[in-house]
Structure 1
Amino acid sequence: MISGIDISGIDASRPQWFFDFVSPFSYLLLEQRDKWPSFDFVPCPVLLVDLYRHWGQPLGGAVPAKRIFTYRHALFRADQLGIPFKMPPAHPFDSTRAMLLAIAAGGEFACVREIFRFIWREGRDPSTEEGFEQLCERVGIAHGEALIEEESVRAQLRRNTNDAIAMGVFGVPTFWMNKQLFWGEDALPMVLYCARTPNWLDSREVKRISSLPSGIGKPNAQ
């Protein structure tokens, strides 16, 4: 759908896949979609920066050594998986316009994949004027700049992010399956296992570790 988007909340009864185009690991996971469980996942764009702010996590580039390792790890995983990979010219970048474009385009996996490939396979920056114009051409959307200014489109991205937070989503990529969260590109084996053996999450040890008390008290406690 290109216009007249109905603002709607996330249907938590359906499997979801949460992503942000700023995440190289979201790209790498989508490129492995042929390995995903046969659930009908709904692609759901959310703003990673807002997830971090809500949960009090430092932004991705805040720790220099972690930033370097993250980029090396993404490249290493791409090499391992045989997935073409090229970092955009600057990172992190503002992914908001690309996220809004995906919503305006209807949020289908085919469009989402093309946007990811524009950024992470070709190394483009969708946050610049030129980059965003080229991205719109790539996905075949005219007047993209005007579309992403529609309040219904912007409201949908806010709603997605707020609903994801209410569901406990704290990062991307994240699968929501059987009302459970699975975070990270490297969580795919766990997703596949739990799709085949959903009762594992109800096992005694999983339940025990899922409700462990903290041994250091609340943060900033005196």
Structure 2
Amino acid sequence: MKTIDYYFWMNSDWAYLGADRLEALAARQQAAIRHLPVDLPDVYARTGGVLLGRRSPERQAYRVAELARWCRKLGIHVNPQPAFMCPDAGLASRIVIAADRAGLPVPALYKAILKAEWCDEQDISDLAALRGILERLGLDAPALLAAAAQPAIESAYRRNTDDAVKAGVFGSPAYVYRGEVFWGQDRLEMLEEAIAAPDAR
């Protein structure tokens, strides 16, 4: 089975922009996606990355310009500077991992959480906000929140982060296919080319 290891941060605006296209790509190529939320600040600390608020004004300005370009191209709205920008994503990540282990629809869930931050001005570190998202999706909020608090889910979150670094991942979103890293939603076309290529390359 063709499998894409999808490492992403639950605060990643770029992951939100690429989410639907990744799902469509996987469907076209009959590939499975392993949804693997990571602690990106930890990844950055171990790979030389710089959190957005610590970047130079020039880099921050370019991010806003690039987001605007991609939003126009894709017809997707993202607020580049939402009211609650990049809060602690730990609980949101653990909820997604718990949902995945329970066999629930992870794409709908993680996209709803990203949308809440980047489009709906919600604080995704807030328990009430996350509970509301789960309820709107028709999911069992008490059960998922209880599962997300279990040590095994925290261990899985840490393992995702460790595995991302071991795989060569240094940012979000990152897609790993057969050991090759594709960083950024603007590399989805190249990812699909790699998946579609014959085995004997």
The TM-score normalised by the length of structure 2 is: 0.81
In the alignment, which of 17, 25, 37 is matched to residue 45 of structure 1? 37
Alignment of 1:186-197 (within 5 A): 186-197=186-197
Q: What's the secondary structure of 1:61's corresponding residue?
A: helix
Cα deviation, residue 113, structure 1 = 2.4
Asked if 1:56 corresponds to 2:45, the answer is no
Instruction: Report the residue type matching 2:88 in the other structure.
Output: D
Instruction: Find the counterpart in structure 1 of residue 68 from structure 2.
Output: 75
Cα deviation, residue 35, structure 1 = 4.3
Instruction: Report the residue type matching 1:183 in the other structure.
Output: W
Q: Are residues 131 and 59 of structure 1, via their aligned partners in 2, closer, same or farther at CA, if it must alter by over 3 Å?
A: same
Asked if 1:105 corresponds to 2:104, the answer is no
Between the aligned residues of both structures, percent identity stands at 25
Cα deviation, residue 52, structure 1 = 0.1
Instruction: Find the counterpart in structure 1 of residue 141 from structure 2.
Output: 142
Q: Are residues 118 and 176 of structure 1, via their aligned partners in 2, closer, same or farther at CA, if it must alter by over 3 Å?
A: same
Instruction: Find the counterpart in structure 2 of residue 16 from structure 1.
Output: 5
When Rg is computed on C-alpha atoms for both structures, the one with the higher figure is 1
Q: What's the secondary structure of 1:40's corresponding residue?
A: strand
Q: Are residues 106 and 196 of structure 1, via their aligned partners in 2, closer, same or farther at CA, if it must alter by over 3 Å?
A: closer
Asked if 1:27 corresponds to 2:16, the answer is yes
Is the CA contact (8 Å cut-off) linking 2:84 and 2:121 kept in structure 1? Answer: no
Q: Are residues 34 and 131 of structure 1, via their aligned partners in 2, closer, same or farther at CA, if it must alter by over 3 Å?
A: closer
Q: Are residues 178 and 91 of structure 1, via their aligned partners in 2, closer, same or farther at CA, if it must alter by over 3 Å?
A: same
CA RMSD, aligned part only?
2.4
| CA distance in structure 1 between the aligned counterparts of 2:175 and 2:54, rounded to whole angstroms | 25
| CA distance in structure 1 between the aligned counterparts of 2:20 and 2:71, rounded to whole angstroms | 10
Instruction: Report the residue type matching 2:100 in the other structure.
Output: G
Cα deviation, residue 26, structure 1 = 0.4
| CA distance in structure 2 between the aligned counterparts of 1:83 and 1:188, rounded to whole angstroms | 17
Cα deviation, residue 145, structure 1 = 4.4
| CA distance in structure 1 between the aligned counterparts of 2:9 and 2:21, rounded to whole angstroms | 16
Instruction: Find the counterpart in structure 2 of residue 85 from structure 1.
Output: 78
Q: Any stretches of 5+ residues in structure 1 without a counterpart?
A: 1-12, 203-222
Aligned length: 189
Q: Are residues 131 and 32 of structure 1, via their aligned partners in 2, closer, same or farther at CA, if it must alter by over 3 Å?
A: same
Is the CA contact (8 Å cut-off) linking 1:21 and 1:116 kept in structure 2? Answer: yes
Cα deviation, residue 170, structure 1 = 1.0
Structure 1 or 2: more helix by fraction: 2
Is the CA contact (8 Å cut-off) linking 2:5 and 2:33 kept in structure 1? Answer: yes
| CA distance in structure 2 between the aligned counterparts of 1:94 and 1:165, rounded to whole angstroms | 20
Could you list the per-position Cα deviations for residues 102-139 of structure 1 after superposition, in whole angstroms to 9, with x for gaps in the alignment? 11212622322222222233232211344233233334
Cα deviation, residue 45, structure 1 = 0.8
Q: Any stretches of 5+ residues in structure 2 without a counterpart?
A: none
